[in-house]
Amino acid sequence: MKQSVIEATHSFCETILCELPQKTATLGQYFYGSAISLLENDVEHTWYLFFEKAVLDDIAFNLLFEENLCENDLDDLLKEIANQIIGSAKVLLEEKYPDNTYHLNVPEFMGNVCAPFPIDLQDSHHYLIKNSTFVIAR
Tell me what pLDDT residue 71 has: 82
pLDDT of 10 above 90: yes
In degrees, rounded to 5, the angle at the alpha carbon of residue 90 between the alpha carbons of residues 73 and 104 is 55
**Mean local confidence (pLDDT), 33-42:** 97
**pTM, 2 dp:** 0.93
Distances (CA, A) of 32 to 71, 73, 92: 10, 12, 26
- For the stretch 90-115, pLDDT in tens is 999 999 999 999 999 999 999 999 98
CA torsion sign for 48, 53, 57, 60 is: positive
